Amino acid sequence: MSSLSVAEAALTILLSLGLLLSVAQHLWTLRWTLSRDRACALPLPKGSMGWPFFGETLHWLVQVSRLFLGRCRYGTVFKTHLLGKPLIRVSGAQNVRTLLLGEHRLVSSQWPQSARILLGSHTLLGAVGEPHRQRRKILARVFSHAALESYMPRIQATLRRELWTWCGVPGPVSVYSATKALTFRIAARILLGLRLEESECNELAKTFEQLMENLFSLPLDVPFSGLRKVLRPPLLGLEEEKRRTPGGRPEVGGKTSSVLHPPLVPAAAGSQEKTSPGNGCLNPKPGRADSERSCPGLEVSRWPECECDPDLTLEKLSRLHYLDCVIKEVLRLLPPVSGGYRTALQTFELDGYQIPKGWSVMYSIRDTHETAAIYRSPPEGFDPERFGSAWEEHRAAGRFHYIPFGGGVRSCIGKELAQAILKLFAVELVRTVRWELATASFPDMQTVPIVHPVDGLQVFFYPLPICGMLIHH
């Protein structure tokens, strides 16, 4: 009898907790429903606000496909609650166009609170209006055509040495981790001009990796939270090294604290970009014809000016048209950044719904690429030919269908450098080494917090003797 009473009591408690959670979730949803702009007759977008305080953040972190299901269920504009704020998620070229061209009028850039806390208020990412224009003008010198041309020999030499190092590893190389560290070294030593010992560079790379992994997290400075892991102190070693290093980048001058982090944020994204095209080159998806798989390598080998030339230039890279198509297609399928964040400056209409003033808006790069209807082949397939001559003819019409680096006044300032690194990496990869997957199949790709293969992409590398002399150049 007593055991039955205990069971009844436990059941009663469970039912009460379930009822309490249900009421709390209903009140949470009602709270945001009532926050709509009553001066606007349009309804709020459809969607779910998740659980009190957490919203759908936990679902997003462990199951990013939930946002994909949200698009399938609610359409290209739907509401949710992520990282502590109500958010309207937007996709589709026309909707993205409205946001990107409405900067300073309809919307203003505002990234999640965790990103603002970790990066500070004096970065390019957090600047708005005139401060943003001034900081972008300063950084533009670092990414000018002349500056990029001067980086090319050192970047190419660094890539060769790295590939040779991979060939010397007795087992498989975790390409994802290795390319992240490689891109950090390129950013620190070549872009910023820092003189770092290998141990210092590796330690800072780990710190920076932790920063990137927790850039988008709940804004809670509590033990074991993502924010606490990197809040004290993020990348201070870089600033100290920058002050100690003579002959650093003159373009940056004494404004280290205000412009140091922004170049490194795209650099981290660049490490993901580098991993993604590495994935595409290393193991194209099953079913691809052998001729298509080898096209980038064949293009390099057929071009006398490129083959084993230790000093490629931007002009020479520009002649590799098919390689350019491959890079574009990889960035279309796996954009390194999932989207951009804005805050509504006023209530406005988007696709028949109201976007209330003060709400966050996120435009999805990945969803926009996946739903673009301008391509001749299905958007879910890997087809570099979609960026061939036919694309060039209709490029203006596809301006907001293809946005791997964002768009408008806040487009990625380092996109030319990122694409140059990707092309150099692909060229050195196909003419310097051969490779084999260490796993039976190509790894699945995760997109949270940023694009990455689930197993790190385990690959064996072997040197090609025909170009071995270049590595020791």
282, two tokens: 């290393």
For residue 436, the domain's CATH number is: 1.10.630.10
Neighbours of 198 (CB within 10 A): 8
Residue 8 lies in a domain: no
Domain span at residue 310 reads: 134-339+411-471
Residue 448 lies in a domain: yes
- For β-strands 85-90 and 360-364, DSSP reports them as parallel
Alpha-carbon distances, residue 305 vs 311, 319, 425 (angstroms) = 10, 10, 17
Q: How sure is the predictor about 269, in pLDDT bands with cuts at 50, 70 and 90?
A: very low
Work out how many domains the chain is built from and give that number: 1
pLDDT tens digit sequence for 19-78:
888 888 888 888 888 888 999 999 999 988 877 777 777 766 665 555 555 566 788 999
Distance CA 451, CA 327 (A): 15
Residue 107 lies in a domain: no
pLDDT tens digit sequence for 217-240:
777 777 767 777 776 554 555 555
Residue 31 lies in a domain: no
Residue 357 lies in a domain: no
Q: Where are the alpha helices (DSSP H) in 232-260?
A: 236-244, 256-259
Answer whether 338's CB lies under 8 Å from 216's CB.
no
115, two tokens: 């990103």
- For β-strands 433-437 and 445-446, DSSP reports them as unpaired
**Secondary structure E strands in 175-220:** none
Alpha-carbon distances, residue 139 vs 88, 103, 135, 252, 355 (angstroms) = 31, 20, 6, 7, 33
Q: Percent of the chain having pLDDT more than 70?
A: 75
412 among annotated binding-site residues: yes
Residue 123 lies in a domain: no
pLDDT tops 60 at residue 457: yes
Instruction: Compute CA 9 distance to the chain's CA centroid, rounded to the nearest angstrom.
Output: 50
pLDDT tens digit sequence for 305-363:
454 556 789 999 999 999 999 999 999 999 988 888 899 999 999 999 999 999 999 99
Residue 319 lies in a domain: yes
Answer whether 81's CB lies under 8 Å from 32's CB.
yes
Residue 4 lies in a domain: no
Interval 175-193 mean pLDDT: 87
